[in-house]
Amino acid sequence: MPESIPTSDQTSDQYSPFDDPLFLTRNDQPNLKLTDVLFDGTNFLQWQRDVVQALLSKNKSGFITGECSMPEKNDKTYNQWIRCDLLDLRWILHSIVPSLRENLQYAASAKNLWSEIVERYGQLNVLELYELKKDLINAKEDNIPLIEYYSRMKNLWESIDQMDPVPMCVCGVMSKCTCQLLKRILDRETHAKLI
């Protein structure tokens, strides 16, 4: 008798190891290269984005955000959690130039390491922002194809937006706003980019 194909209700309740942040494959080795971009102290935004995306793809980002917290020592997953956390820590360290890595290698966990890096290097870098805006002002199409010029401009704007984003309401008042102030601010920002 042929097997029946499981319905979406049946498959949603089934365990998949790929959804488990504690799941490891043979390729999950401590010396794994997470990104081609090595963090050198000046390229934080690009490096951070690449590392987070790589960890998300491996379902291991919860170790740096704290979402995948350490279980109690008597929990059967404790040792597996330690292994995964140490892998995250090693992967991050291997994506940093050796001269910076020396000062960060004694972090107790991936979350502690990540917090330390963000605290040291994740603050708004005014000089880097200045350079990006100067590059934006000096950008010229010259004789390059329009699509290449557009890509260059878009990359500059996205870098600026990531480094210095439009402030967002965190108190909840904007959710009750009926004048669409936030939409007008974002439209103004889009208009400035177009010009």
Please write the tens of the pLDDT for every residue from 84-104: 999 999 999 999 999 999 889
Cβ–Cβ under 8 Å, residues 81 and 71: yes
pLDDT at 180: 85
pLDDT at 124: 63
Please write the tens of the pLDDT for every residue from 3-15: 444 444 444 567 7
As a whole-number percent, the residues of the chain with pLDDT over 70 amount to 92
pLDDT band at 2 (very low <50, low <70, confident <90, very high): very low
pLDDT surpasses 60 at 149: yes
Average of per-residue pLDDT values in the chain: 85
Phi/psi at 129 (5° precision)? -65, -40
Assigned token pair, 131: 């350079």
Please write the tens of the pLDDT for every residue from 56-82: 999 999 999 999 999 999 999 999 999
Q: Cα(190)–Cα(169) distance, rounded to whole angstroms?
A: 19
pLDDT at 131: 85
More confident residue, 59 or 129: 59
As a whole-number percent, the residues of the chain with pLDDT over 90 amount to 33
Q: pTM of the prediction?
A: 0.66
Please write the tens of the pLDDT for every residue from 28-56: 888 888 899 899 988 888 899 899 999 99
pLDDT at 13: 66
